[in-house]
Amino acid sequence: MKEEVRKAIFPLAGHGTRFLPMTKASPKEMLPLVDKPVVQYVVEEAVASGIGEIIMITGRGKRAIEDHFDISYELEDVLMKKGKLALLEEVRKISDLAEIVYTRQKESKGLGHAVLCGRQLIGSEPFAVALGDEVIDGPEPALSQLVSVFHRVNGPVIGVQRVPKADVPFYGIAAGQQLEEGLIRIDSLVEKPSVEDAPSDLAVIGRYVLTADIFEILETQQPGVGGEIQLTDALRTLSGKRPIYAYEVKGHRYDTGDKLGFLKATVQFGLKNPDLGGVFREYLERILSLSDGAEGR
Ligand code: G1P
């Protein structure tokens, strides 16, 4: 019987150290791409992939995320009284997007530990994991691509993309037997290997479709790289017990938790925006053509 993937875990408790000082008091997941916070794009991706229940694993300093997806009566009242009905609609839509529950990861013990915090709320069904600071802009929602593969192979699927060799130490890296274009059965999975030790250039991006048997492994998983309980290590153990797969997700990935990644995403989403794209393009072309380095206005 085909088991639906109805739930997703969003691990959101990270400190965002790559984006300090901005992240000192504000969550990196609330950085805007034009006019929506990054995490909203990821929630919309999950919903567009048929996933309507989201378990957000938060921590200190992440209250703004809860407020964003909550109903804001006061704001709605103001917009209503001012007759700003389009904005009212937009604001209401956010609180109706998905069923969201929140639980806290009380200690920073890594991604594997964050996923384990969602155990009771997931139960025994398959579930997705999505990192809330990675936006994937593609022809089909990234999680939807993974859910389709999950149903075909009937086993856990990790989203991957190729990265330049020099970048492999920043990622989990997967390798294995190619079953078809873009799909491999994993036989090697390493968290943040050195360039020399990396088994391939296939990097784990922040999207997974997993089965509940990962929780038992996470329960006893010893800390790995960075002294943290790594999801990658638990998945490697799982691959010794049952086949697990990696699928090359189609789409452009932006790591908005990284300063340069965020700037790139801002430019791309600015250019794509129906209201601002035209003038923004003109502006960029103008400043790039100013050879004297003077600021365009
Ligand atoms: C996490 C995972 C890593 C993955 C990466 C994707 O690392 O542990 O396997 O490649 O996300 O962004 P982090 O960037 O949280 O250190």
Mind listing the pLDDT tens digit for each residue in 56-78? 999 988 999 999 999 999 999 99
- Centre of ligand 1 to C-alpha 79, Å, is 40
Check residue 262 and give its pLDDT.
97
- Judge contact between 69 and 39, C-beta under 8 A: no
pTM assigned to the model: 0.94
**Residue ranges lining ligand 1, Cβ < 6 Å:** 111, 131, 134, 171-172, 191, 203-206, 230-232
Of residues 112, 125, 4, the one with CA closest to residue 57? 112
Q: Which two tokens stand for residue 69?
A: 């997806």
Residue-level pLDDT, tens digit, the chain, 297 residues: 678 999 999 999 998 899 999 999 999 999 999 999 999 999 999 999 999 999 999 998 899 999 999 999 999 999 999 999 999 999 999 999 999 999 999 988 999 999 999 999 999 999 999 999 999 999 999 999 999 999 999 999 999 999 999 999 999 999 999 999 999 999 999 999 999 999 999 999 999 999 999 999 999 999 999 999 999 999 999 999 999 999 999 999 999 999 999 999 999 999 999 999 999 999 999 999 875 555 555
- Centre of ligand 1 to C-alpha 225, Å, is 11
In the CATH scheme, what is the homologous superfamily, with its name and number, of domain 7-257? Answer: Spore Coat Polysaccharide Biosynthesis Protein SpsA; Chain A (3.90.550.10)
Amino acid letter, residue 263: L
Instruction: Please identify, by atom number, the ligand 1 atom nearest to the C-alpha of residue 172.
Output: 9
Atom 10 in ligand 1: which residue has the minimum CA distance? 171
Calculated CA dihedral for residues 85, 91, 93, 95, nearest 10 degrees: -140
Q: In angstroms, rounded to a whole number, what is the distance separating the alpha carbons of residues 71 and 154?
A: 38
- Centre of ligand 1 to C-alpha 167, Å, is 12
Instruction: Please identify, by atom number, the ligand 1 atom nearest to the C-alpha of residue 204.
Output: 10
Outline where the chain has alpha helix (H): 38-48, 63-69, 73-81, 85-96, 111-116, 119-122, 142-153, 213-220, 231-239, 259-272, 277-289
Check residue 294 and give its pLDDT.
56
Residue whose token pair is 């790995």: 224
Rounded alpha-carbon distances, angstroms, from residue 127 to 58, 121, 138, 195, 205: 18, 11, 21, 32, 16
Mutation choice for ligand 1 from 23, 167, 170, CB with most ligand atoms inside 8 A: 170
Check residue 105 and give its pLDDT.
94
DSSP 248: E
- Centre of ligand 1 to C-alpha 91, Å, is 31
- Centre of ligand 1 to C-alpha 270, Å, is 26
Q: In angstroms, rounded to a whole number, what is the distance separating the alpha carbons of residues 183 and 185?
A: 7
